[in-house]
Amino acid sequence: MKRRVLLQRAARFAGIACFAGTWLARAGSASAAGQDAAAPNGPQPPPSMLPKPPPGPVSYPVQHTEEEWWAKLEPARYYVLRERGTEPPYTSRLLTEHRNGVFTCAGCGQHAFSSATKYDSHTGWPSFWQPIDGAIATKEDRSQSMIRTEVHCTRCGSHLGHVFEDGPPPTYLRYCINGLALVFVTA
């Protein structure tokens, strides 16, 4: 319990960075197990588990001008979806959404994640271990002096979050998704 509170405080301190969850979760699990911080943290997936970006340019079925997106979305959602922003951790109401249903892209309504693949990553962002088939694509993100894998909607191209290789089985992936990028629809 103490560890979780510390993690939450540290994540809040880290502010808007989704990546912080990765580092904190790893550091937390290492110390909780009484291991040296440099020790490996259990089984790691092979690098090939991370979804590969599509080769070449991509065109999205749903297209809007940025003016149309601005008119369509509330400002906080526009910031995340169209400016690749990150919401502050522990702010999404979807963190406590445990009903059966589907999480859709807030930009276009495409079904993105099933509630069956949602889990609590203790990072402060809604997390999933697998997207719905064909719903998301990835690309390399070299912002903030890091190399991460950005996740976006295949239908409208909107930014949803990032994917990391520290998730649970069976995929060992953690789709770290902004709650503002999603709309939950009950089954």
Site track for Zn ion across 138-167, x = CB under 5 A = ---------------x-xx-x---------
Question: Considering the rule CB under 5 A, would residue 102 count as an interface residue with Zn ion?
Answer: no
Largest CA distance in the chain: 53
Question: Considering the rule CB under 5 A, would residue 108 count as an interface residue with Zn ion?
Answer: yes
Q: Which of 107, 124, 126, 167 binds Zn ion (CB under 5 A)?
A: 107
Beta-bridge mates of residue 163: 149, 175
Q: Which is nearer to Zn ion, 21 or 107 (CB)?
A: 107
List of residues 6+ apart from 176 with CB closer than 8 A? 18, 21, 22, 121, 123, 125, 127, 161, 162, 163, 164
Residue 176 annotated among the catalytic residues of the structure: yes
**Contact by Cβ (8 Å): 13, 5:** no
Question: Considering the rule CB under 5 A, would residue 124 count as an interface residue with Zn ion?
Answer: no
The catalytic residues are: 176
Residues near Zn ion (CB under 5 A):
105, 107-108, 110, 153, 155-156, 158
